[in-house]
């Protein structure tokens, strides 16, 4: 049983029926865990919480299983109860992490559940910009987190291959008699940008684009051919980027995949009373409760008979509910915060429309906006940072900083780690300004810093002549004593990572940045330990080598959760 669960169980056995917490104190000097059970009970019983805390301690001190784990229990402050874990328990935890090797941080809280993560979702005929980087990398990290929490996980790249923008491209291609199959995505994007500029000069071109998209929806052969060529050209380039990012998709359904389902979706919505006619023949869904509107109306069919993003997302969910490969207990949508209202409307409609949808959990993980120093990115205005450029420059920058001591392959891994970590160390919902110097930072709270600490652990083990790390098992007769540096590092490794807390907390909160925070703190604690304590050639060598090797394993497995590779040399 896990250490935290042992404490919780001991308290529940005596004080059942109370909702209390067991967490890490803010100050490490106050112990490894603290509970507020006495203060919770004091409110109910009308007693002094500190006096009640002493009574609690007296009772739980008699729990034999708890006392096998806990060194001491003390009352602090207004009535908190603090627990210190025994050194030998921490050491045994380190040995367990060693035996688990690359899975030393796993949790099982989602065992038996199925999860689908919807992320990346680039638009066909537009280059993959840094603006899509957040969704791709955060989404992949969430997928990794839930997989390491015991869930059966799949993913879906919901491609933007439908909509009025294709009307613009089709109209432009037809006007200039272009051969799309011989073009690059950059050419298609330029075509789109130029067409938008011309619309500003000649607004009637907008009607021409609408007409072209209407033909596409109705199955016009010429329009469909151009559209299909746009997809082929785009996907060829996207796959190169995904390969470089280390991202693979089990499913890649474009919005067009749901085209045939949309008439039935609209029909169901109208017949069930969920949707109703709006102005000019449009079909809308109103969101009202007790006669009051709690969200603006959503349009599921325009007055000209074409569908909307709402309709396509409803059809997407319908397919996912029906398809055995996609059906899940939890659907995570990693999409920008500007779509927050959209997904609130979609999830609300789904639960009104289909009974079985009510048993499923839907979560929109809304990442904040990435802007440039000169303002918001815009394909239409030609103001973006291209992802290929960023990734190529990242590798070059890493090589330059390493003074060409490392191979091109290693420098690419370091550069890519820098870019990914720069995204993941932030709370997903945060907005930020993209700056080259920050994205490529090789110091401080960064991917390269963690990669460097991992290399440092490998160097210590090589110096000690250790190859098979599994053979390292610390055990000694008599009393086990850890010094303060050893204890701080062991606590962090076992209680924050080895117990599955880091992975579970990040998954439950849809927050990969919590992994970054934990790993960064681990790296700092390791460097403090290593700088102040000799490892090789001292009586404590075996114990300290155990700390070194488990630190390396924890950093490696943690970075893998984030989609970042470690390197053997820096």
**Burial (CB count within 10 angstroms: exposed 0-12, middle 13-18, buried 19+), residue 279:** exposed
Does the pLDDT of residue 469 top 70, yes or no?
no
What is the pLDDT at residue 405?
73
Instruction: With cut-offs at 50, 70 and 90, classify the pLDDT of residue 476.
Output: very low
403 falls within a domain: no
pLDDT tens sequence across 333-377: 999 999 999 999 999 999 999 998 888 999 999 999 877 777 666
182 falls within a domain: yes
Torsion of CA 334, 284, 315, 111, to 10 degrees: 50
Instruction: With cut-offs at 50, 70 and 90, classify the pLDDT of residue 477.
Output: very low
28 falls within a domain: yes
Instruction: With cut-offs at 50, 70 and 90, classify the pLDDT of residue 383.
Output: low
Instruction: With cut-offs at 50, 70 and 90, classify the pLDDT of residue 440.
Output: low
Instruction: With cut-offs at 50, 70 and 90, classify the pLDDT of residue 404.
Output: low
Here the CATH number for the domain that contains residue 79 is 3.30.1360.70
What is the pLDDT at residue 375?
66
Full-model pTM: 0.91
528 falls within a domain: no
Average pLDDT over residues 96-117: 90
Q: What is the DSSP string of 34-79?
A: EE-HHHHHHHHHT--HHHHHHHHHHHHTT-HHHHHHEEEEEEETTT
232 falls within a domain: yes
| Average pLDDT over the chain, rounded to an integer | 90
What is the pLDDT at residue 253?
96
> Considering 202, 226, 247, which residue would you say is the last residue of a domain?
247
pLDDT tens sequence across 161-216: 988 889 999 999 999 999 999 999 999 999 998 998 898 888 888 889 989 998 99
Euclidean distance between CA atoms 138 and 136, whole angstroms: 6
> Considering 85, 104, 136, which residue would you say is the last residue of a domain?
85
Which domain, by its residues, includes 192? 160-247
361 falls within a domain: no
Does the pLDDT of residue 545 top 70, yes or no?
yes
Does the pLDDT of residue 480 top 70, yes or no?
no
What is the pLDDT at residue 257?
93
Does the pLDDT of residue 494 top 50, yes or no?
yes
439 falls within a domain: no
Higher per-residue confidence, 431 vs 400 = 431
Pick from 220-224, 377-381, 436-440 the range whose average pLDDT is largest.
220-224
Total domains present in the chain: 2
> Considering 222, 247, 272, which residue would you say is the last residue of a domain?
247
217 falls within a domain: yes
For 331-358, letters b (16+ CB in 10 Å) and e give: bbbbbbeeeeebbbbbbbbbebbbeebe
Instruction: With cut-offs at 50, 70 and 90, classify the pLDDT of residue 467.
Output: low
Helix (H) / strand (E) element for 453: namely helix 447-463
Q: What is the DSSP string of 268-305?
A: HHHHTTS-EE-GGG-EEEEEEETTEEEEEEEEEE-TTS
């Amino acid at each position: 049983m896990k250490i935290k669960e042992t404490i919780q169980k001991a308290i529940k056995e005596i004080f059942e029926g109370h909702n209390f917490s067991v967490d890490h104190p803010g100050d490490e000097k106050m112990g490894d865990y603290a509970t507020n059970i006495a203060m919770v009970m004091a409110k109910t019983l009308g007693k002094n919480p500190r006096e009640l805390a002493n009574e609690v301690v007296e009772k739980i001190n008699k729990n034999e299983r708890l006392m096998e784990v806990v060194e001491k229990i003390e009352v602090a402050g207004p009535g908190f109860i603090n627990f210190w874990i025994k050194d030998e328990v921490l050491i045994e935890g380190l040995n367990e992490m060693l035996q688990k090797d690359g899975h030393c941080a796993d949790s099982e809280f989602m065992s038996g559940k199925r999860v689908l993560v919807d992320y990346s979702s680039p638009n066909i005929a537009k280059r993959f910009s840094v603006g899509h980087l957040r969704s791709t990398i955060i989404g992949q990290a969430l997928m990794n987190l839930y997989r390491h929490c015991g869930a059966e996980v799949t993913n879906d790249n919901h491609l933007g291959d439908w909509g009025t923008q294709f009307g613009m491209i089709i109209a432009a291609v037809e006007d200039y008699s272009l051969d799309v199959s011989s073009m690059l995505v950059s050419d298609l994007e330029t075509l789109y940008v130029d067409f938008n500029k011309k619309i500003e000069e000649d607004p009637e071109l907008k009607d021409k684009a609408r007409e072209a998209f209407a033909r596409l929806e109705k199955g016009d052969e010429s329009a469909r051919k151009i559209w299909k060529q746009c997809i082929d050209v785009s996907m060829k380039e996207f796959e190169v980027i995904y390969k470089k990012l280390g991202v693979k998709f089990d499913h890649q359904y474009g919005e067009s995949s749901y085209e045939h389902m949309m008439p039935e979706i609209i029909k169901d919505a109208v017949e069930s009373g969920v949707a109703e006619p709006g102005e000019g023949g449009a079909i809308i869904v109103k969101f009202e409760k007790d006669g009051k509107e709690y969200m603006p109306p959503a349009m599921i069919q325009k007055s000209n008979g074409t569908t909307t993003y709402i309709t396509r997302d409803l059809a997407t969910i319908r397919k996912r509910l029906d398809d055995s490969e996609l059906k899940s207990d939890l659907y995570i949508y990693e999409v920008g915060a500007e779509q927050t209202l959209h997904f609130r409307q979609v999830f609300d409609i789904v639960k009104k429309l289909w009974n079985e949808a009510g048993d499923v959990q839907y979560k929109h993980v809304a990442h904040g906006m990435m802007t440039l120093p000169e303002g918001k990115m815009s394909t239409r205005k030609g103001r973006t940072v291209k992802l290929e450029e960023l990734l190529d420059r990242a590798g070059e920058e890493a090589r330059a900083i390493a003074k060409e001591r490392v191979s091109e392959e290693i420098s690419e891994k370091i550069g890519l780690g820098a870019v990914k970590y720069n995204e993941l160390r932030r709370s997903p919902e945060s907005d930020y300004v993209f700056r080259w110097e920050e994205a490529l930072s090789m110091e401080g709270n960064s991917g390269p810093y963690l990669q460097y600490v991992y290399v440092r652990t490998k160097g210590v083990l090589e110096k000690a002549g250790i190859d098979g790390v599994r053979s390292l098992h610390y055990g000694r007769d008599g009393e086990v004593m850890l010094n303060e540096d050893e204890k701080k590092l062991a606590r962090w490794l076992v209680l924050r990572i080895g117990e599955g807390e880091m992975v579970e907390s990040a998954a439950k909160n849809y927050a990969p940045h919590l992994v970054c925070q934990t790993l960064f703190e681990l790296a700092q604690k390791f460097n403090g330990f290593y700088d102040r304590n000799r490892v090789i050639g001292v009586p404590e060598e075996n114990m300290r080598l155990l700390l070194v090797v488990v630190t390396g394993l924890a950093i490696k497995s943690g970075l893998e959760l984030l989609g970042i590779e470690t390197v053997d040399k820096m």
